Amino acid sequence: MAETHTDKQTDTHTDKNGTRYKVSDKQLTTSQTDKARLAHLQSHYASHPTRGLTPTKLAGLLQQAEQGDLIAQCELAEDMEEKDGHIFSELQKRRRALLGVEWQIVPPRNASAAEQADCELLHELLDDLSILDDLIFDMSDAILKGFSNSEIVWQRQEKLWLPEAFNFKDPSWFMLPGSESGLSRNELRLRDNSLHGEALQPFGWVSHIHKTKSGYLSRNGLARVLAWPYLFKNYSVRDLAEFLEIYGLPLRLGKYPAGAGKSEKATLLQAVMSIGHNAGGIIPKGMEIDFTEAAKGGKDPFEYMVSLMEKTISKTILGGTLTSQADGKSSTNALGNVHNEVRQELRDSDLKQIANTLSRDLVLPLYMLNGKSYRHSSRAPRLEFNLVEAEDIKAYAESLPKLVEIGFAIPQSWAQEKLQIPIAQKDEPVLAIGAKSSEQEVSQTKLKQLAIKRIVALKQQAEQQDVVNDDQPLDEMNVQLVDEMSPVLQGFSDEVQALVNGVTSLEELQVKLAELDLNIDEASEILQLAMVSADLAGQYDVSEGR
């Protein structure tokens, strides 16, 4: 889609070459494929080119695609995915791996406050789109076919333009212009029964071209690479089915006596043909049926060919075989990890290409239609997937402190990015070593406040009595501790005394004492208060130089 600039008053837009055009509300809300001259696309049905596929036929349809006719090649790719369970399975692994990866809208370098605000707005708008995952999955169809087009259905919500749906369109709806048109051979156009097709409407499409290899668009998809192993595999599967049919049933040979007539021969032939399925039959006396063992053979050559082609398919789609197939011989854990790393690289590459398309065909139009800070496409925000894997926290926890101790200046942002730990926002609760619960902190605060009140009271009492002895406050605290603990200790004594009075033997008393559950909460609180008071009094004496 062309880069555009929006004047919200006149709906006038300018592409990167300075060409001006208009995008009206009607154009945004009208589907390009609903036009009468494109109605034939709605009634197009696949011709299924895999029927009777031969090497000659396959070479011919691939050559047609190079000349701009993509229909047969796209329908071939669709057939292969539907008919070959192995191709379908491996493609699903690669395509489904793209879903669920976190993404973010990144502002341009040295973004202003207005650009930051628009960036946050775009993130909220896209984050609320429940259909974004479906769009990403449809875009991944380009891995097989080379391209994928989804038409955007826009809707107006108050002052905002938002995508209501992304309608995936069949790849056979599109074509490439001929070399004589003067257009790029990589420009996808709608088949409108004209010689060179109709250009895709600006703001109307998410048009993703997936580069699996360098070259023209018609030769980009994996379908051209997979077509040959698919063909050879199906030849082997067909031959294996014929072999099993012949080898599984013995040869039935009928013998008729000399001078037998046509009717007798027909009777014998019918018996021979039906006895294999019905396991029984009758023939006239004098005729014989012999069961001759089929020629010796094995299924191994056919299975080897099928296995070889499936391994080729796996390597083509996933870059390796050990994440999809295990032969019990070479499938070591180390090799499996290597193959999984290759698969990870493919996922990251796929997501980067998809992010580029989404930034151009979705984020930029949203920014132009809804943003207040838009000036030029070079300052547009971008969608990026978070492809950084969290490192081993245990290894970093051991190594980082040692590196810091010997003088390494390690930025905190780098460590948090490596460990995938977000930066704490202002006033956000954070973890801390030995952190106490809020109830414990409140309890300790109350104890300190009560202890300070008591110390102040004792000091004021001593000043009123003009007591010169420095030990007077300490003596007063001792007396107060005894006064407060006496009722508690007396309660303990009363409970024990009641036990003693209620038993008849020493053994019974021991059992009762073991079962006695004394409530020490009150005593514990008094002792804690005394200790806090003593500590604060000591700090006060030190500060006064006593």
Query: Which of 19-28, 118-127, 303-312, 377-386 has the least mean pLDDT?
Result: 19-28
- pLDDT (0 to 100) of residue 285: 62
What local confidence, expressed as pLDDT, does residue 122 receive?
A: 94
Assigned domain for 240 exists: no
Domain count, the chain: 3
Residues 185 and 37 in one domain: yes
Give pLDDT, residue 2. 42
Range(s) of the domain holding residue 489: 438-543
For residue 72, the model assigns a pLDDT of: 92
- Shared domain for 71 and 194, answered yes or no, is yes
Please answer whether residues 529 and 451 qualify as being in contact, where contact means their C-beta atoms are separated by less than 8 angstroms.
yes
Residue bearing the bigger pLDDT, 279 or 427: 427
* Predicted TM-score (pTM) of this structure: 0.65
Residue 258 and residue 219 in one domain: no
pLDDT average, residue stretch 444-463? 54
283 touches 289 (CB < 8 A): yes
SS3 132: helix
pLDDT of residue 440: 53
Question: Among residues 152, 56, 137, which one has the least CA distance to residue 92?
Answer: 137
Position 107 scores a pLDDT of 92
Q: What is the pLDDT of residues 104-133, one digit of tens each?
A: 999 999 889 999 999 999 999 999 988 999
Which is higher by pLDDT, 23 or 308? 308
Same domain, 113 and 180: yes
The reported pLDDT for the residue numbered 39 is 80
Q: Region 365-387: what's the mean pLDDT?
A: 88
**CB atoms closer than 10 angstroms to residue 393:** 12
Rounded to whole angstroms, the Cα distance separating 449 from 416 reads 40
Do 21 and 161 lie in one domain? The reply is yes
pLDDT tens digit string along 430-442? 776 655 555 555 5
How many CB atoms within 10 Å of residue 47?
13
The pLDDT-based confidence of 86 (bands split at 50, 70, 90) is very high
Residue 224: the pLDDT is 93
> Given pLDDT bands bounded at 50, 70 and 90, which one contains residue 140?
very high
Residues 374, 358: Cα–Cα separation, whole Å = 18
Q: Is there a single domain that holds both residue 289 and residue 361?
A: no
Q: What pLDDT score does 486 carry?
A: 65
Q: Are strands 189-190 and 6-7 parallel, antiparallel or unpaired?
A: unpaired
* Domain-embedded: residue 156: yes
Same domain flag for 528 and 459 = yes
Phi-psi region of 142 (alpha: psi -120 to 50; beta: other; left: phi over 0): alpha
Is 82:56 a contact under the CB 8 Å cutoff? Answer: no
In a domain, 313, yes or no: no
**For the ranges 30-34, 442-446, 476-480, the one whose mean pLDDT is highest:** 30-34
Confidence of residue 15 (pLDDT cuts 50, 70, 90): very low
| DSSP-based helix, strand, coil % in the chain, nearest 5 | 55, 10, 35
